[in-house]
């Protein structure tokens, strides 16, 4: 097998890369440009709402550079998890930007879009057939939860992307895809060992986060029959055994075993070897196919509407009395608005705002930042309850009060801010698929 070089411009499309790093990377003769555009990491909002994670301005600017580079070199450009969560509306939005780029740049090419939306009825049939198991959500997926789910996608493997390459696509905008599949698809399509290609994908998918100094920037991987060689695009960075090994641990639980659609990768026999000053050679990944081909479902449901108030507290007597005040204003708000259910949360920054019950330190605070958060069935009610609580706290009388003119320092007018709909994850489960491609339809367009 001839060596195949994959260029990954950045860790998340829209988060930037260096122009010189891209130019230098392209000079190294990559066979494909492949980049990830999302994940569940930013939370459930982007899946639930369909809003894009990154602005159209940034996506269009970076896609323009990548598609121009790809067309000049005659190589495909692959984007996975388009729009952030990879839902249909986000694929459409990204595809519209690609059409505008083709028009404005006078480029002609074949665009493929791959959808990853799972019809609720399809998932319900799988529930009924016992073909869905929990991944990490902690509860089984039910028909009721699926009825509440407003957006449901599955992570595709490399197979649908390989099919689009086989269909002659020059630019592929894929819905939700395993991060590594986006990078691994082209080499596998050209006959590379899937174990090595997927392992390379796991490292490349974050761009130059596996280099030092790390950054959202260009990273290249060159795959042959024995392993792969990693190198950052920018000469200001290097890949080191330490930077690559460290990245192998990043944001995943098991460093030795990684499950993906239809397979499990065993990394326990991996070896990293420094080559020169800037390159690292990796070998040793092994792949086992799983008996069933399962895809990971990701679903989001509407949890209500949120309003917040932000305030500072500087008075030591208020800070000492804070827990009692918070409990009391919460109780009064719940009673005032009953029977409408309210979710009331206080984030007390300076004390335990970040870690909540996991915070072990108990030192007294000089000043605290308070975020009052109310979630309700509609925005008007959330706003009303948030203002009721912030107002009650502002003028709350407690034993030992010294300053009677107000307990909260508001930085903003209005004090209460409406944040709109709130989503939460509803599905994070594995579903058996009939084939690797059945859930991921491809559409072609000659631009």
Binding site for other proteins (CB under 8 A): 40-45, 135-138, 242, 245-246, 248-256, 270-272, 303, 343, 345, 347, 353-360, 373, 375, 422-425, 428
In the complex with other proteins, the residue whose CB is nearer, 73 or 216, is 216
Comparing CB distances to other proteins, the nearer of 186 and 214 is 214
Q: In whole angstroms, how close is the CB of 258 to other proteins at the nearest point?
A: 11
Choice between 27 and 345, CB closer to other proteins: 345
CA distances from 359 to 326, 351, 356, 428 (A): 18, 8, 6, 27
Minimum distance from residue 245 beta carbon to other proteins (Å): 4
DSSP line for 277-321: TTEEEEE--EEEE-SS-EEEEEEEEEEEEEEEEEEEE--HHHHHH
CB of 333 to other proteins, least distance (A): 15
CB of 250 to other proteins, least distance (A): 7
Q: How far is CA 232 from CA 20, 207, 229, 362, in A?
A: 12, 8, 10, 44
Let me know if 246 is exposed, middle or buried by CB neighbors in 10 A (0-12, 13-18, 19+).
middle
User: Could you give the 3-state DSSP secondary structure of residue 34?
Assistant: strand
Least Å distance, CB 216 to other proteins, is 15
> 358 vs 402, which CB is nearer to other proteins?
358
| Nearer of residues 7 and 118 to other proteins, judged by Cβ | 118
The rounded distance, in Å, linking the Cα atoms of 279 and 222 is: 11
Residue with smaller CB distance to other proteins, 4 or 265: 265
Name which of 136 and 277 has its Cβ closer to other proteins: 136
Tell me how far, at minimum, the Cβ of 363 lies from other proteins, in Å. 13
Least distance to other proteins, CB of residue 206, Å:
11
Q: How far is the CB of 351 from other proteins (least distance, A)?
A: 11
Strands 343-349 and 286-289: unpaired
Phi-psi region of 106 (alpha: psi -120 to 50; beta: other; left: phi over 0): left
DSSP state of 339: T
CA distance 177 to 34: 12
Residue carrying the six token digits 């930037």: 16
Closer CB to other proteins, residue 40 or residue 90? 40
Angstrom distance (rounded) from CA 184 to CA 338: 54
- Rounded to whole angstroms, how far apart are CA atoms 99 and 82? 15
Cite the beta strand spans of 108-165 per DSSP E: 110-114, 132-134, 149-154
Q: In angstroms, give the least distance from the CB of 40 to other proteins.
A: 6
Q: Six-digit token pair at 124?
A: 């319900």
C-alpha 406: how far from chain center: 41
Residue 248 CB, nearest approach to other proteins (Å): 7
Q: Which of 332, 396, 338 is nearest to 370 (CA)?
A: 396
Asked if 199 and 191 touch (Cβ cutoff 8 Å), the reply is: no
Q: Which residues contact 323 (CB under 8 A, 6 or more apart)?
A: none
Complex with other proteins: residue 256 or 444, whichever CB lies closer:
256
Q: What is the DSSP letter of 55?
A: -
Q: For the CB of residue 47, give the shortest distance to other proteins in the complex, in Å.
A: 10
DSSP state of 179: H
By C-beta, is 99 or 252 nearer to other proteins? 252
Measured from the CB atom, the residue of 316 and 341 that comes closer to other proteins is 341
**Nearer of residues 121 and 136 to other proteins, judged by Cβ:** 136
Strands 32-36 and 4-8, bridge-based pairing = parallel
Q: Let me know: does 199 contact 285? Beta carbons within 8 Å.
A: yes
Q: How far is the CB of 143 from other proteins (least distance, A)?
A: 21
């Amino acid at each position: 097998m001839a060596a195949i070089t994959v260029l990954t411009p950045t860790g998340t499309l829209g988060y930037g890369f260096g122009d010189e790093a891209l130019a230098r990377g392209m000079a190294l003769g990559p066979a494909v440009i492949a980049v990830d555009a999302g994940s569940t990491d930013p939370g459930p909002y982007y899946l639930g709402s369909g809003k894009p994670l990154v602005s159209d301005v940034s996506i269009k600017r970076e896609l323009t550079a990548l598609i121009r580079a790809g067309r000049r070199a005659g190589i495909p450009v692959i984007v996975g998890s388009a729009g952030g969560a990879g839902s249909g509306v986000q694929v459409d939005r990204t595809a519209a930007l690609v059409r505008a780029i083709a028009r404005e740049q006078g480029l002609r090419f074949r665009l493929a879009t791959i959808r990853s939306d799972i019809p609720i009825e399809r998932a319900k049939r799988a529930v009924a057939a016992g073909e869905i198991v929990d991944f990490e959500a902690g509860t089984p997926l039910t028909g009721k939860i699926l009825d509440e789910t407003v957006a449901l996608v599955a992570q595709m493997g490399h197979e649908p992307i390989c099919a689009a390459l086989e269909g002659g696509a020059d630019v592929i905008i894929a819905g939700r895809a395993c991060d590594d599949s986006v990078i691994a698809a082209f080499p596998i399509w050209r006959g590379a060992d899937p174990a090595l290609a997927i392992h390379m994908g796991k490292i490349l998918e974050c761009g130059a986060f596996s280099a030092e100094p790390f950054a959202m920037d260009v990273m290249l991987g060159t795959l042959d029959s024995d392993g792969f060689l990693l190198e950052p695009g920018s000469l200001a960075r290097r890949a080191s055994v330490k930077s690559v090994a460290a990245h192998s641990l990043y944001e995943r639980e098991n460093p030795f075993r990684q499950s993906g659609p239809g397979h499990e990768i065993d990394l326990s026999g991996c070896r990293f070897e420094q080559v020169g000053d800037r390159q690292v050679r990796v070998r040793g990944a092994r792949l086992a196919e799983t008996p069933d081909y399962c895809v990971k479902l990701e679903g989001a449901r509407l949890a209500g509407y949120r309003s917040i108030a932000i305030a500072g507290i500087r008075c030591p007597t208020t800070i000492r009395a804070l827990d009692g005040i918070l409990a009391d204003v919460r109780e009064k708000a719940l009673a005032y608005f009953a029977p409408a259910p309210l979710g009331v949360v206080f984030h007390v920054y300076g004390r335990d705002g970040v870690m909540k019950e996991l915070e072990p330190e108990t030192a007294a605070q000089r000043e605290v930042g308070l975020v009052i958060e109310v979630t309700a069935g509609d925005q008007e009610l959330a706003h009303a309850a948030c203002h009721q609580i912030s107002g009650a706290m502002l003028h709350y009388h407690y034993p030992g009060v010294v300053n009677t003119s107000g307990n909260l320092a508001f930085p903003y007018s209005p004090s209460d801010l409406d944040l709109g709909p709130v989503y939460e994850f509803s599905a994070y489960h594995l579903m058996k698929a009939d084939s690797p491609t059945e859930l991921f339809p491809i559409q072609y367009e000659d631009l």
